[in-house]
Amino acid sequence: MTKADIVDAVYDRLGGYSKRDAAELVELVFQILKDTLEKGEKVKVSGFGNFVVREKKSRMGRNPQTEKPIEISARKVLTFKPSQVLKSQLNG
């Protein structure tokens, strides 16, 4: 499934709006999500899950090919924690 299918779902639900409007609205929603996460703020969507930006400390790793130890720098990563509701929906 791609964004186009999501646009169709929004188009069907709204009524009275063009496909183009629906596509722009879907784009807007993901844009807001991305802008918020980029700022390091978490996004909680009830019934779906939470998107959280986590700070990872630097740690030592190694290049698996050369076996040489290298430092993996500190970084911020985005994680998704599915909600209990979503998990049970998938196992219903």
Site for other proteins (CB under 8 A): which residue of 19, 20, 32, 64? 32
Q: Single out the residue of 6, 51, 58, 21 nearest to residue 33, CA to CA.
A: 51
H or E segment and range at residue 54: strand 49-56
How many other C-beta atoms are found inside a 10 Å radius of the C-beta of residue 7? Answer: 19
- When asked if residue 1 is in the footprint of other proteins (CB under 8 A), the reply is yes
User: What tokens were used for 51?
Assistant: 């998107």
Q: Per CB under 8 A, does 70 bind other proteins?
A: no
Where on the chain is the footprint of other proteins (CB under 8 A)?
A: 1-3, 5-6, 9-10, 12-14, 24-26, 28-30, 32-34, 36-38, 40-49, 51, 53, 75-80, 82, 86-87, 89-92
